[in-house]
Chain A
Amino acid sequence: MMNRRLVAWLQAAPLAAVFAIFFLIPLVLIVTVSFWQATDYELIPAFTPQAYLDLFSGCGGGADDLCVTLSTYGSTLKFALLTWAITGVVGFTVAYFLAFHVRSTLVQTVLFIVCTVPFWTSNVIRMISWIPLLGRNGLVNDALLGLGLVKQPVEWLLYSDFSVVLAFVHLYTMFMIVPIFNSMMRIDRSLIEAARDGGASPWQTVRHVVLPLSRTGILIGSIFVVALVMGDFVTVGVMGGQQIASVGKTIQVQASYLQFPAAAANAVVLLAVVLMMIVALMRLVDLRKEL
């Protein structure tokens, strides 16, 4: 009996070790450092909540003038929400098409691979390729001007909230398609037939049968998208012309100026926010049961 338990522990040990070395210990370090003091060139291990106080200084003061931290989180959350909603709708539609409209397994596989083609190049390249398209003298503006639809180049196409969300959708829709497709493929086809036999319209079938049964996929996709957007600072930087704040960017700037306690405090707050969002999502679905 004892022996078997020992074996079980040993079997779990490698993963536990990896988890401890690459996740738990760094996390503990970050939390510790966030309570330290620092000068330009050294860290002083003295407990102080100063980094957190600085982080939220000015918050809750003026009514119309939000403090930096809150407005940064506000804009990051806005991007997360918009991206989540759009990738959700697009991802669901694409997955639905692949799962229910394409009959042959071969075509399904081929189309699925086609979806992953953009992933053969790097994120940054895919982002940058939008710039000549959307710029002031870009293709879209050239076309609009040429068609006589506008008199002045449209400025909000690039370096704006619009271009940031566009890039996010472009980059992350795949993370929605895959899990949703996966859970749709597990739906018992006889349920769809039963709905049709029962007189449900195609829309009603989607709403009352497919959507609820794809919940797990949607949820997993949502976790991916939300976590990715919340931590992303490259996309916001490149597509927003570096003018739009994101939490990740703030952390990067602080770290590059050796302000480690401030960066660590920011990271801890970001982690807490993302965890809360994921916990909230998890309450909607019991992942363990569904998987």
Chain B
Amino acid sequence: MSDQQRAAGTSRRQILKMAGAAGVGLAGFPYVHAQEKITLRYLGTAVNQDRRIAEKFEADTGIKIQYIAVTTDDVTKRAVTAPNSFDLIDTEYFSLKKILPTGNLLGIDTKRIKNADKITTLFTKGEVGGKKVGDQGTAPKKVMYLDKPDAKTFSAAPTQYMTLIPTVYNADTLGIRPDLIKRPIESWKELLNPEFKGKAAILNIPSIGIMDAAMVVEAMGLYKYPDKGNMTKKEIDLTIKTLIEAKRAGQFRALWKDFNESVNLMASGEVVIQSMWSPAVTAVRTKGIPCVFQPLKEGYRAWAAGFGIPRTLTGRKADAAYEFINWFLDGWAGAYLNRQGYYSAVLETAKAKMEAYEWAYWMEGKPAAKDIKSPTGDLLAKAGSVRDGGSYEARMGGIACWNSIMDENQYMVQKWNEFVAA
């Protein structure tokens, strides 16, 4: 065999091999295609978009989660203007008043949600432990149900279709620096107490800040609102006037808009009392600085977020979205969130994934039997300490109102700008 022949022979063999491989590839193509990984684009705020949740879900199911983290306002903006840019939305219930009328969300079929009937009664009935809680503002039960999947208005009675499946929720109150205040704080009215002149701060997100202000106005005995979450123009005027007077008198050190700002204000001692979010209080504490998420006698301002599905979602991606929601309610994610100080929508499954001492500390308001660690392993509370606000029933049962969008939203924002400019 000459060299030339050998070369030709080899190459012929190679070509045959390649053709064979190509044949297998072609034949296998549809099969490979069907198994192609699905990626769900998850639009929401950074709060719930934990890398570990996505990793665990992918490990369990093979479906990838791609987080798109924007601010609360931008979640709404994208839901209204670009429903094609996400496959799953994680938004707050109060935003629904803006999003639903656009028709961009599709009701979620609860028949396909395994734990739908186990979702806490706080959402389905507005009750905690059989007791009604405050429903001023956009209480989730008011915007929870749709008559048909593509309805653009809410259903008053429970139906098969849910607008959002609740993910996390919590009740907010004032945060204080006990070491700098040195006396018990019991009422919302302390926020405008001249004793803390130049050392108080309020949230500069108008729709939430005005609710905190309304809690203060009521606590000061100035006015009793029929619904703090839906004020008339006159009521808005009164609330803003109170804020402006306090601001002109030098009450506020600063206003804050994002989580980290509130942490810095508190940790640096610029502010000793301010409206605050629970994880921000935890963040101050992990720096070794005392900070209390102070329960107040007038109650809490609550918020809740949930998963929604855009109208444009179909086929395998829609199945994947349902699979994610089912997985989310199945306990692992719920336990994870509970350990961060939020509350999960299905308590039963979360409890199964938590240690008994953890459950007792986070949910029952009992002293910690062991050191309490965050899901990432940071020490959150030493053995023997008790959670601020006590048990789930004490905290969530003490809700006075819910975050909301008012009918007079535009006027409210205009007046709020007046407060900032004053």
Judge: A and B partners, yes or no: yes
A286 at interface (Cβ–Cβ under 8 A)?
no
Q: Counting CB contacts under 8 A, is B353 at the interface?
A: no
Asked if A271 is at the interface of the complex by the 8 Å CB criterion, the answer is no
Number of interface residues of B (CB under 8 A): 38
B contact residues around A244 at 8 Å (CB): 420
Say yes or no for B77: interface residue by CB 8 A criterion.
yes
Q: For the complex, is A203 an interface residue (Cβ under 8 Å from B)?
A: no
On whether the beta carbons of B409 and A242 are closer than 8 Å, the reply is: no
Among the 9-residue stretches A4-12, A85-93, A130-138, the one with 4 or more Cβ atoms under 8 Å from chain B is A130-138
Interface: B62 (CB within 8 A) = no
Binds B, one of A20-28, A191-199, A252-260: A252-260
> Which residue from chain A places its CB closest to the CB of B247 in the assembled complex?
A243
CB contact between A132 and one of B71, B261, B268, B420 (< 8 Å): that residue: B268
Beta-carbon contact of B97 and A243 below 8 Å: no
Q: Which of A136, A245, A254 contacts B420 (CB 8 A)?
A: A245
Q: Does A262 contact B (CB under 8 A)?
A: yes
Residues of B within 8 A of A245 (CB): 417, 420-421
B421 and A242 contact, CB distance less than 8 A: no
Please state if A253 and B416 are interface contacts (CB–CB under 8 Å).
yes
The answer for the CA separation of A183 and B66 in the assembled complex, in Å, is: 52
- Interface residue ranges of A115-145 to B (CB < 8 Å): 131-132, 135-137
Task: Decide if B421 touches A71 in the complex (CB within 8 Å).
Answer: yes
Task: Establish whether residues A241 and B410, one from each chain, have CB atoms under 8 Å apart when the complex forms.
Answer: no
Q: How far is the CA of A71 from the CA of B146 in the complex (A)?
A: 46
A215 at the interface (CB under 8 A from B): no
In Å, the complex CA distance between A42 and B417 comes to: 22
In this complex, which of A40, A68, A158 has the most chain B Cβ atoms within 10 angstroms of its Cβ? A40
Q: Mark A38-64, 1 if CB is under 8 A from B, else 0.
A: 001110000000000010000000000
A136 touches B254 (CB 8 A): no
CB pair B254 A241 closer than 8 Å:
yes
B381-422 vs A, Cβ < 8 Å mask (1 yes, 0 no): 000000000000000000000000100011001101110110
Contact B99 A41 (CB under 8 A): yes
Q: Is B198 an interface residue (CB 8 A)?
A: yes
Contacts of B418 in A (CB 8 A): 68
Q: Is the CB of A137 within 8 A of B253?
A: no
Query: What is the bound-complex CA distance between A256 and B81, given in angstroms?
Result: 13
- Chain B interface SS verdict (over half): helix
Are B257 and A242 touching (Cβ within 8 A)?
yes
Binary interface encoding of chain B residues 72-93 relative to chain A, with 1 for a CB under 8 A from any of its CBs, else 0: 0110110010000000000000
A151 to chain B, nearest CB (A): 16
Docked complex Cα distance between A256 and B80 (Å): 12
Complex contact B73–A136 (CB within 8 A): no
Is B252 a contact partner of A258 (Cβ separation < 8 A)?
no
- By a CB distance below 8 angstroms, the chain A residues around B414 are 54, 68, 262
The reply to whether the CB of B256 lies closer than 8 angstroms to some CB of chain A is yes
Known A-B contacts A68-B417, A257-B409; the reply to A242 vs B269 at CB < 8 A is no
Which residue from chain A places its CB closest to the CB of B413 in the assembled complex? A257
Tell me if B242 counts as interface (CB < 8 A to partner A). no
User: In whole angstroms, what is the CA distance A253 to B420 when docked?
Assistant: 11
A256 touches B77 (CB 8 A): yes
The interface residues of chain A lying within 8 Å CB-to-CB of B270 are 135-136, 158-159
> Could you tell me if A137 and B269 are in contact, using CB atoms closer than 8 angstroms?
yes
- In the complex the two chains form, is B97's CB within 8 Å of A40's CB? yes
Q: Is A250 an interface residue (CB 8 A)?
A: yes
Contact with B along A249-286 (1 / 0, CB 8 A): 11001101111001000000000000000000000000
Q: Are B413 and A259 in contact (CB under 8 A)?
A: yes
Return B126 CB to nearest CB of chain A, in Å.
24
Residues of chain B lying within 8 A (CB to CB) of residue A155: 198
In the bound complex, residues from chain A placing their C-beta under 8 Å from that of B269 are 135-137
User: Given the interface contacts A159-B254, A253-B413, A259-B410, does A242 sit within 8 Å of B420 by beta carbon?
Assistant: yes
Complex formed: what's the CA distance from A219 to B85 in Å?
45
Q: Are B413 and A258 closer than 8 Å at their CB atoms?
A: no
Given contacts A155-B198, A257-B206, contact A249 B420 (CB under 8 A): yes
CA distance A132 to B247 in the complex (A): 24
Q: Which residue of B lies closest to A42 (CB)?
A: B102
A257 to B99, CA, bound (A): 12
Quick one: given A68-B418, A158-B270, A257-B206, are A242 and B101 in contact (CB under 8 Å)?
Answer: no
Contact present for B74 and A256 (CB under 8 Å):
yes
B405: A residues at CB distance < 8 A? 40
Beta-carbon contact of A41 and B98 below 8 Å: yes
The answer to the question of A32 belonging to the interface, with a C-beta cut-off of 8 Å to chain B, is no
Could you give, for residues 65-82 of chain A, a 1 whenever the CB lies within 8 Å of some chain B CB and a 0 otherwise?
Answer: 000100110010000000
* B97 close to A257 (CB less than 8 A): no
Q: Which B positions have Cβ atoms within 8 angstroms of A?
A: 71, 73-74, 76-77, 80, 97-99, 101-102, 198, 201, 204, 206-207, 247, 252-257, 261, 264, 268-270, 405, 409-410, 413-414, 416-418, 420-421
In the complex, 26 of the A-B residue pairs with CB atoms within 8 angstroms, ordered by the A residue number, are A40-B97, A40-B98, A40-B405, A41-B80, A41-B102, A42-B80, A54-B414, A68-B418, A72-B421, A75-B421, A131-B264, A131-B268, A132-B268, A135-B268, A136-B268, A137-B269, A237-B257, A241-B252, A242-B256, A242-B257, A243-B247, A243-B255, A250-B421, A253-B206, A253-B417, A258-B76
20 additional A-B pairs beyond A136-B269, A137-B269, A159-B270, beta carbons within 8 Å, are A40-B98, A40-B101, A41-B98, A42-B102, A68-B414, A68-B421, A131-B264, A135-B268, A135-B269, A136-B268, A241-B252, A241-B254, A242-B261, A243-B247, A243-B255, A245-B421, A256-B71, A256-B74, A257-B206, A258-B80
